[in-house]
Amino acid sequence: MADLRGHLALVTGASSGLGHRFVQVLAAHGAKVAVAARRADRLSALVEAVEAKNGVARAFAFDARDGAAPDALMEEVAEAMGVPTLLINNAGIHRPGKAHRNTAEDFDDTMAVNLRTPWRLSQLCAERWIAAGTQGAIVNVASMLAFRVGAGVSTYATSKAALQHMTASHALEWARHGVRVNALCPGYIRTEINEAFWETEQGQAELKRLPRRRVGDPEALDTALLFLTDPRSHFVNGASIVVDDAQSWAI
């Protein structure tokens, strides 16, 4: 298993869902974790849970829709905990709807959270790593929809496809500096945000289309996350790892 002692991980969108799980997994494998999200009450509880298991975590208020937030967050984290060596760009939003019904606000908000914020945070980390001559790793949480689209998810799929392409571009440019950039592309994962959907008639119909008639739990991503953050994966760069139980071939 990965040994992340000596690393500081910054995880966005940490208050629930995948980010909540990522924080616990990274902390359990020795990383100190800066947890960032909008819901401060959720972050406090998460920090307490990490500390109860002898881990180290600290909460930072962060609104990924705010264009100035990444710079402010990086300064706060650097001052309080040091410069991150691992960046998990997990914060994301989804505004479902038919392509001809999505509004300009839907588009702008989705791109701000799913693409602009990961771009800026990646840039801020890479600048610091390159200037200091140190190595670092970035994991961008994309989606199986970066590769295969479905109906009603046009704006979201577009943002994730762009994130996947940005991942490869950053990996190419920064590889010579010892900076690794990879994408983790989940399939359908059950979280508190979508849990009710899977019990609806539409959700049940969607389940029947999937190869194994199931969705994953956040724990299903543990090994892929650890693989991408493990220093021993130093030759894995510019990759997009799809973890979807073959769902993308059915949508």
Contacts of residue 182, Cβ cutoff 8 Å, sequence gap at least 6: 137, 138, 139, 140, 167, 171, 228, 236, 237, 238, 239, 240, 241
Most distant pair of Cα atoms in the chain: their distance: 54
- Active-site residue among 62, 156, 174, 188? 156
How many distinct helices (H) and strands (E) make up the chain? 8, 7
- 188 as an active site residue: the answer is no
The DSSP line for 61-119 is E--TT-TTHHHHHHHHHHHHT---SEEEE---------TTT--HHHHHHHHIIIIIHHH
> Would you name the residues annotated as active-site residues?
156
